[in-house]
Amino acid sequence: MAELIFHSEHSTADGPVWVVTRQPGQITNPYVVEFVKHGRNGKLLDQTAEWHWIAHLWCNHRWMPKSPTVPKWLLDKVEAHMRGVQP
């Protein structure tokens, strides 16, 4: 079941809008996180990553979110959230 981790509180006129969701859509793995970035001209990023709940890092067999693609402040917020997700 999808869980919203973060959603920007401004419009694309004020900068990129981020939506980060854990277990998006029909994905059954609760450690998959979707990062979506919207700009004035549409979607700029739509990628999924997988969190390794034991090692507390992103799994390297999927896309790995990192700065500057994903801002450090947002990545820190998402990682802190995922550290609290239990199996």
Strands 32-39 and 3-7: unpaired
Strands 42-52 and 17-22: unpaired
- CA–CA gap between residue 55 and residue 57 (Å, rounded): 6
Task: Please give the tally of structural domains in the chain.
Answer: 1
- What tokens appear for 63 in the block? 């896309």
Three-class SS of residue 85?
Answer: coil
**Nearest CA among 43, 79, 49 for reference residue 61:** 49
Over the stretch 14-52, which tens digit does the pLDDT of each residue have? 999 999 999 999 999 999 999 999 999 999 999 999 999
Cis peptide before 68 (omega within 30 of 0): yes
pTM of the model: 0.95
| pLDDT value at residue 32 | 98
- If pLDDT is split at 50, 70 and 90, which confidence band does 86 have? confident
Q: How much of the chain is helix, strand and coil, in % rounded to 5? A: 15, 35, 45
Domain that holds residue 24: 3-83
Over the stretch 56-75, which tens digit does the pLDDT of each residue have? 999 999 999 999 999 999 99
